[in-house]
A and B are shown apart, each in its own frame.
Chain A
Amino acid sequence: MTAVIARINKYTIKPQKNMGNQKLFKGSLQTIILKLLAQNDKMYGYEITQKVKELTKGELKITEGALYPALHKLEADGLLDVEVAKVGNRLRKYYKLTEHGTKETANKLAEMQEFLKTMQHLVNPKFSLE
């Protein structure tokens, strides 16, 4: 996961510094969420924002305004399942991958790798990601 985000980060995005690059980031958001959930079994919304911040050392920030619509879309599409648990003084909604979501994660990651490779060839033909 760190590798994927680091690549995205290195070659394309620093959304906090460049508004134009936010569009590039937005297109990768679902893949990032799916990959994180594949690695962490179940996560809640706020945890995802903090995890991405931590993995990218604060370079990439998922805003709640972008995260929740993406989570709700993935859930509505049947890629995520929800689980509610009592944590301290409140209830918490956890997201986890469904069987279909697990398969889709592999597809989306493969697409992402392919896209990054193509972009690398276009932007900087002398170097390769591999």
Chain B
Amino acid sequence: MEKKHEITAKQLAFLDRFLKNHNFGSEDDKIELKDHIISDFEINGNGNLSQYLSEELSFIKKFIGNKLRAIHKSYRRKTIDEALSFFTSIKKLPITVAVFLIIYFLTMNLNGTILIVSFFISVLSFFIYSQFFLNIKKKDRKKLDRIEYLGQEMWLPYLMIMFPLGFLEDIVINKYFFTVYWFVAIAYSVAAIIVMKKEKAIIYEKYKHLLS
């Protein structure tokens, strides 16, 4: 990889400003993007950085979008795998069955209003825990965009609380359906929280050079 020319300090400052002004991703993204741009510019560029950047603009924009998509997909898959493991892992299966039976018992024995309130409190408490107690400092979020997506898998339980707001009483009529509905909301919440905790620990270890 022979360099045609070396990037100057002035061009480097220009590149920093360019990435900052266009708000291209977090600090982590910028490290990789900047290194790629400089490496390619020094080997294939014609010395005009401004022209080079305008030609590479589409790649730079896609770089961030594709990365976030990959991270998001990965968290979703891990959450689904975790939720499935509640049924496939011999260690977890007794707890899964116990939780299901408790929900079934509550659904069958509580009256409409108390049942709805119990459903809300149980699912909402997981949501609040994930969003406030597993939260990551704001300044760390700016440095590493994968953190931003950590809590987003709680969207399904949140939707399961919000979606039937207008017709909860109709849903409660079918006790069997409501048992499954409640159970899925709880199981997915727990899976998302487990993944959040695991990933948070991995991220803080892997990116300690970036995070406080």
Q: Which residue numbers of A lie inside 8 Å of B, CB to CB? A: 44-47, 50, 64-65, 68-69, 72-73, 76-78, 81-82, 84, 87, 89-93
Contacts and interface: CB of A to CB of B under 8 A. Distances in A.
A51 to B, nearest CB: 9
Interface in B65-107: 66-67, 69-71, 73-75
Contacts of A73: 70, 73-74
Interface of B: 1, 7, 9, 12, 28, 31-32, 34-36, 38-40, 59, 62-63, 66-67, 69-71, 73-75, 146, 202, 206-207, 209-210
A73 B76 CA distance: 13
Given A76-B74, A76-B146, A69 B66 contact: yes
Nearest to A53: B1
Contacts of B206: 81-82
A72 B31 contact: no
A47 B146 CA distance: 24
Contacts of B63: 64, 68
Given A65-B66, A73-B73, A90-B35, 17 more contacts: A44-B35, A45-B32, A46-B35, A46-B40, A64-B59, A69-B70, A72-B71, A76-B71, A76-B74, A76-B75, A82-B206, A84-B209, A87-B35, A89-B7, A90-B38, A91-B35, A92-B31
